[in-house]
């Protein structure tokens, strides 16, 4: 009888790394014997009884099959047939298919083992299987040599692979000359190294932004002044200084000033929620907040009058002043950078001067950085990637070019900036790099660019291919890994000839004086796959005031320390390291390090949320070509290894069954916006009955349902403009269908994609929109209206968000946004405030000003309702803009909307009897008596400034205006302003305010001498008008100390609604 007389036995083993091979062998023997005792049960009957989930792509009960042929085959003599042993003719019987994911069949003959692997080519490549065969042979040899060795310590690498570990990609390196950064150079402070560069290159540009340029000498002088000022304000032993700056030159001055004083800088990003910034200030025990004019109001709000605030712009310049000659140890703490924390609050990573200099030493020597280099600064200074750029430039005599990717890239695309400034070293996250690449045209060439450095998240094969297509042979591509706890750790160099068959790019080889080890679950070293741990004397000192967290992540290791990153790595055949995921719930999104636990903990604070889980979802997982797989375990939703757009998705269990149905998703998003950075706010919220859990009580993210992010009714485009915008949206977001009322951010959009969106809109329509447009008009329908309005010479540029976040209804102030900024620190922290500058409704290339108050008010309402579609509305207007606020209130009320407060400040309301009194000589005489000669000087200066502008416009004359219109030239800004304001004054003079059915509060500077409040009774139908007086002049109403009084009065009005 000829047939297949075998019966499969399935049993599971648990090879703990702590036990020896001998013990494990005994366990297997016992399980096998137990299985043999039940082997009469047919395998198919077992399958029928279990009824596992069926899938044509894999076997239902097991995917790895091991077969040992260890019995003697008799010599078969069959008439007319020739028989040979199976193990001698494997090549002849190969069918080209694999029954399982992986099969290993061994034959025992004459004291030897021979065999073969059969594998699924969709999961494993031939090179992977060759490595596996070598590892299996090494494993068997190790077991025979030492059977009592714990399983976790048995070696797998072949001798050839061990030799490769000592190699690197050293043949791909920059060739330009540079001055070596020596080991001795790290035994000093950062300011000492910087001052050495000042002596060498005093007149070389150190920092250059769009508006500023500082030489090394100038930067050093300004930093010295900051250091002296800080030391004067220092209290006792307090050393931590909060820095609040945007991406600008004063930020660099502040950092150096703090370090020169021997203090520690704690960066505060202005775009973060105020509550998060307050937590960082309190947790770091900052003793001072250092800022500039731009962020002064926010700094004062954050300090809560508990911390001194130093305005760097008010530090008296003294070019002769020298810096402190005090020298301090390189062990001095340099900075505390706050990263996302799993407990629900960020944690501060502490680094000293020596560690920073060690990172810069490796970065300098490996990249050959010299004084001729020009480096970009794209990352925010609150991230460790900025440390590389800032100090790699300033400690080598090079020039640093800060770029605000969110603001600068629209008006001045990155590609144009790199060419114009002749940038030599570009550094960013892969997400920003892809945005940069997307803006390139066929004519873009970068002859000076010699290095592209990426880090912070995975780099894909396609990223390298784009580099190889777009850039010159002189440009090298560098990928790497460096967590905040060890900024420069691994690097991998690529040139135009480098081949990378795998879908992701290695993170490379360890830098000098750094060793990488892989750890198993027990924390023991392993060889091929495990948690990446960094062994170095230069890892971070730990986490600020978190000894338990520090102890869990760092441990002594001889004269070095071992830091467990939580990143999982796999050793490639060439000895380089590959990133393959995380062991915990930490993720990377657009280069930001995010603890999903922090989002879950924060969202769990919402009263309607009982339980929550958050995942990183990849919208379009990429299919791998055959043979490029690596047999990885299946990943939970959204944790695939593709190149699609990634987004955060939150799953919620409500406290009450219908709880979340009553809560708008915008409310949840707003709740998180007050506590978390925007990149940590999920773009989708999904209601579920329960969160699936593992046996240990942790969230089982694999069982969370696949997000269906387009569940709402899709409204199709209604006209060609909306159809074009829909196509652009689908291309940028990588998802479809998208309805015209879908929110850009709900569909996975973020600030970088917003820039890409606006770039595509400009290419398609020839219209340049401000970045704020996407936030004010986040739907296709609204953006279509914006573009249509632009075609009718109306531009949505008037509304500016001074503070967009908060739980209260916004306060809209007509007038220059600086007025709203002056009020900001005096109002409640959760009070949103917007400024609306009517002048910006008028295009700068127009010489036909808007001259109808009702029409202007109508356009203002359109902008206001992009932020707040429904009432109640809180409106304000200053001086000549008060009539606009008044008319807006009238039109809103006429449209059925509630106006809770109309606040008018020194209102220029014509045809009111009291206003005529304001022009009387008696009025001026009384002010002169009460306020003194300063009032006379104030009025003379005011009249002179107005007269000069009006004379300039008259000189232009009618012919000038016609010439401007004919040639479509733009008037100078001051003349354009005067032309507009004259027409605007005429419109105000012709405007007659009708009685308003609502609450009116009038605020007047004492120079207007408002005594008889009855004169204003006609403004309200009820005759009820509140009057507030502030001692001072009209022009100083929003300046300290008058603004403090004004702010308290306005706050009272807002709270009493």
Residue 720, in any domain of the structure? no
692 in any annotated domain:
yes
Q: In whole angstroms, how far apart are CA 920 and each of 317, 571, 933, 1004?
A: 45, 87, 18, 17
Query: Which pair of structure tokens corresponds to residue 1008?
Result: 């207007």
What pLDDT shows up at residue 351?
Answer: 97
Last residue of a domain, one of 106, 133, 165: 165
Q: Is residue 491 part of a domain?
A: yes
pLDDT of residue 1057: 67
Cα separation, 147 vs 438, whole angstroms? 57
CA distance 683 to 673: 12
402 lies in some domain: yes
The kind and range of the H/E element at 687 are strand 684-687
Q: Is there a single domain that holds both residue 605 and residue 660?
A: yes
665 is a domain residue: yes
Residue pair 387/363 in contact by the 8 Å Cβ criterion: no
- 207 and 127 in one domain? no
- Angle made by CA atoms 728, 405, 868, in degrees to the nearest 5: 65
pTM of the model: 0.63
Is the separation of the CB atoms in 263 and 328 below 8 Å?
Answer: no
Same domain as 347, residue 382:
yes
Tell me which residue of 450, 467, 511 sits closest to 486, measured CA to CA: 511
Q: Is residue 760 part of a domain?
A: no
Please check whether residue 360 lies inside any domain of the structure.
yes
DSSP state of 702: G
Both 97 and 241 in a single domain? no
Residue 661 shares a structural domain with residue 522: no
The list of the chain residues with pLDDT below 50 reads 319-320, 410-411, 621-642, 792-796, 843-845, 913-919, 957-974
473 and 528 co-located in one domain: yes
Sign of CA dihedral 347, 352, 357, 359: negative
DSSP for 607-665, written as a single string:
TTEEEEEEEEEESSPPPPPTT----PPP--TT--S--S-EEEEEEEEESSTTTGGGS-H
Q: Which domain holds residue 885?
A: 793-915+977-1057
Question: Looking at residue 640, what is its pLDDT?
Answer: 36
CATH number at residue 604: 3.30.300.30
* Residue whose token pair is 């679950």: 521
Shared domain for 550 and 592, answered yes or no, is no
What is the structure's pLDDT at 602? 85
Of 165, 198, 218, the residue at which a domain comes to its end is 165
Query: Residue 222 has what pLDDT?
Result: 94
Q: How far apart, in Å, do the first and last CA atoms of the chain sit?
A: 96
- DSSP letter string over 427-444? EE-HHHHHHHHHT--TT-
CATH of the domain at 115: 3.30.559.30
Pair 374, 506 in one domain: yes
- The angle at the Cα of 661, spanning 657 to 663, to the nearest 5 degrees, equals 115
Look at residues 703, 727, 755 and tell me which one is the last residue of a structural domain.
Answer: 703
Phi/psi at 651 (5° precision):
-105, 135
| Same-domain check for residues 403 and 435 | yes
CATH number at 200 reads 3.40.50.12780
Are 289 and 309 contacting, i.e. CB atoms less than 8 angstroms apart? yes
- Indicate whether 88 belongs to any domain: yes
Alpha-carbon span 891 to 861, nearest angstrom: 9
Number of domains in the chain: 4
Do 203 and 133 sit in the same domain of this protein? Answer: no
pLDDT digits (tens, 9 = 90+) for 433-469: 888 887 787 777 888 999 999 998 888 888 999 899 8
Segment 120-132, tens digit of pLDDT? 887 888 888 888 9
DSSP assignment of 897-955 equals --EEEEEEES---TT-HHHHHTTSHHHHHHHHHHH-HHHHHHHHHHHHHHHHHHHHHHH
Q: Are 394 and 197 in contact (CB under 8 A)?
A: yes
Based on the number of CB atoms within 10 Å of its own CB, is 417 exposed (0-12), middle (13-18) or buried (19 or more)?
Answer: middle
Residues 507, 589 share a domain: no
Task: Report CA Rg, the chain.
Answer: 35
Same-domain status, 237 and 270:
yes
């Amino acid at each position: 009888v000829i047939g297949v007389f075998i019966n499969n036995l399935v049993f599971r083993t648990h090879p703990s790394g702590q036990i020896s091979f001998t013990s494990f062998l005994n366990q297997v023997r016992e399980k096998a014997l137990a299985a043999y005792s039940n082997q009469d049960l047919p395998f198919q009957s077992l399958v029928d009884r279990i009824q596992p989930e069926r899938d044509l792509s894999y076997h239902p009960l097991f995917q790895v099959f091991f077969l040992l042929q260890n019995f003697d085959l008799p010599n078969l003599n069959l008439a007319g047939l020739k028989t040979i042993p199976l193990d001698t003719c494997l090549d002849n019987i190969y069918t080209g298919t694999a029954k399982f994911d992986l099969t290993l069949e061994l034959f025992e003959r004459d004291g030897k083992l021979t065999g073969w692997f059969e594998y699924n080519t969709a999961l494993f490549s031939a090179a992977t299987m060759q490595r596996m065969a070598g590892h299996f042979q090494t494993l068997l040899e190790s077991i025979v040599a030492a059977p009592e060795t714990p399983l976790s310590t048995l070696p797998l690498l072949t001798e050839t692979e061990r030799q490769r570990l000592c190699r690197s990609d050293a043949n791909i390196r920059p060739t330009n000359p540079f001055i070596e950064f020596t080991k001795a150079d790290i035994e000093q402070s950062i300011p000492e190294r910087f001052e050495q560069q000042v002596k060498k290159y005093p007149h070389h540009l150190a920092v250059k932004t769009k508006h500023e340029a500082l030489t090394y000498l100038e930067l050093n002088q300004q930093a010295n002044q900051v250091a002296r000022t800080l030391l004067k304000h220092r209290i006792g032993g307090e050393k931590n200084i909060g820095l609040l700056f945007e991406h600008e030159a004063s930020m660099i001055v502040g950092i150096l000033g703090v370090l020169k004083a021997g203090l520690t800088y704690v960066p505060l990003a202005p775009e973060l929620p105020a509550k998060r910034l307050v937590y960082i200030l309190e947790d770091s025990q900052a003793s001072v907040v250092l800022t500039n004019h731009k962020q002064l109001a926010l700094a004062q709000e954050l300090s809560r009058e508990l911390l001194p605030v130093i305005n760097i712009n008010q530090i008296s310049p003294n070019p002769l002043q020298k810096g402190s000659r005090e020298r301090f140890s390189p062990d001095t703490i340099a900075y505390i950078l706050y990263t996302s924390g799993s407990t629900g609050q960020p944690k501060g990573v502490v680094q000293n001067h020596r560690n920073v200099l060690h990172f810069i030493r490796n970065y300098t020597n490996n990249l050959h950085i010299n004084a001729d280099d020009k480096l970009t600064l794209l990352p925010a200074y609150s991230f460790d990637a900025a440390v590389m750029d800032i100090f790699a430039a300033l400690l080598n005599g090079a020039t640093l070019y800060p770029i605000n990717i969110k603001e600068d890239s629209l008006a001045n695309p990155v590609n144009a900036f790199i060419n114009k400034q002749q940038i030599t070293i570009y550094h960013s996250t892969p997400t920003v790099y892809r945005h940069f690449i997307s803006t390139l045209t066929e004519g873009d060439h970068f002859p000076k660019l010699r290095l592209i450095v990426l880090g912070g998240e995975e780099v894909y094969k396609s990223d390298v291919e784009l580099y190889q297509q777009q850039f010159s042979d002189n440009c090298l591509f560098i990928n790497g890994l460096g967590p905040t706890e060890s900024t420069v750790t691994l690097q991998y160099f690529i040139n135009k000839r480098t081949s990378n068959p795998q879908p992701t790019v290695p993170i490379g080889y360890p830098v000098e004086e750094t060793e990488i080890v892989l750890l198993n679950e027990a924390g023991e070293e392993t060889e091929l796959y495990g948690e990446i741990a960094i062994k170095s004397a230069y890892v971070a000192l730990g986490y600020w005031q978190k000894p338990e967290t520090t102890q869990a992540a760092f441990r002594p290791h001889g004269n070095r320390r071992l830091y467990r990153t939580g990143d999982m790595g796999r050793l490639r055949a060439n000895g380089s390291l590959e990133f393959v995921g995380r062991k915990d719930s930490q993720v990377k999104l657009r280069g930001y390090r995010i603890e999903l636990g922090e989002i879950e903990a924060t969202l769990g604070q919402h009263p309607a949320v009982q339980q929550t889980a958050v995942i990183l979802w990849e919208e379009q997982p990429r299919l791998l070509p055959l043979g490029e797989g690596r047999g990885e375990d299946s990943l939970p939703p959204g944790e695939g290894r593709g190149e699609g757009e990634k987004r955060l998705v939150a799953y919620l269990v409500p406290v009450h069954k219908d709880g979340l149905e009553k809560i708008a998703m915008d409310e949840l998003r707003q709740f998180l916006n007050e506590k978390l950075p925007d990149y940590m706010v999920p773009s989708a919220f999904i209601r579920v009955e329960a969160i699936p859990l593992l046996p240990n009580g942790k969230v089982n993210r694999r069982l969370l349902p696949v997000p269906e992010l387009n569940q709402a009714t899709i409204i199709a485009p209604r006209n060609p403009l909306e159809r074009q915008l829909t196509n652009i949206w689908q291309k940028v977001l990588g998802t479809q269908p998208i309805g015209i009322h879908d929110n850009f951010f709900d569909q996975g959009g973020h600030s970088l994609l917003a820039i890409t969106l606006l770039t595509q809109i400009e290419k398609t329509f020839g219209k340049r929109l401000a970045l704020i447009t996407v936030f004010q008009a986040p739907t296709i329908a609204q953006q279509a209206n914006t573009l249509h309005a632009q075609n009718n010479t109306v531009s949505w540029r008037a509304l500016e968000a001074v503070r967009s976040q908060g739980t209260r209804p916004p306060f809209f102030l007509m007038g220059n946004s600086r007025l709203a900024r002056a009020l900001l620190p005096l109002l409640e922290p959760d009070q949103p405030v917007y400024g609306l500058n009517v002048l910006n409704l008028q295009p700068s290339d127009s010489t036909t000003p808007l001259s109808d108050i009702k029409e202007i008010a109508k356009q203002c309402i359109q902008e206001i309702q992009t932020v707040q579609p429904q009432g109640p509305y809180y409106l304000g207007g200053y001086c000549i803009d008060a009539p606009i606020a008044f008319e807006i209130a009238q039109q809103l009320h006429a449209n059925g909307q509630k106006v809770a407060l109309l606040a008018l400040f020194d209102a220029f309301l014509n045809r009111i009897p009291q206003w005529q009194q304001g022009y009387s000589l008696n009025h001026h005489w009384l002010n002169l008596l009460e306020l003194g000669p300063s009032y006379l000087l104030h009025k003379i200066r005011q009249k002179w400034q107005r007269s000069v502008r009006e004379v300039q416009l008259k000189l232009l004359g009618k012919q000038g205006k016609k010439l401007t219109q004919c040639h479509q030239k733009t008037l100078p800004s001051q003349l354009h302003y005067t032309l507009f304001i004259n027409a605007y004054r005429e419109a105000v003079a012709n405007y007659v305010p009708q009685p308003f059915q609502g609450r009116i509060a009038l605020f007047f500077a004492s120079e207007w001498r408002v005594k008889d409040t009855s004169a204003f009774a006609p403004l309200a139908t009820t005759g009820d008008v509140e009057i507030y007086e502030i001692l001072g002049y009209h022009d100083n109403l929003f300046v300290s100390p008058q603004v403090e009084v004004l702010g308290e009065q306005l706050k009272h009005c807002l709270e009493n609604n």
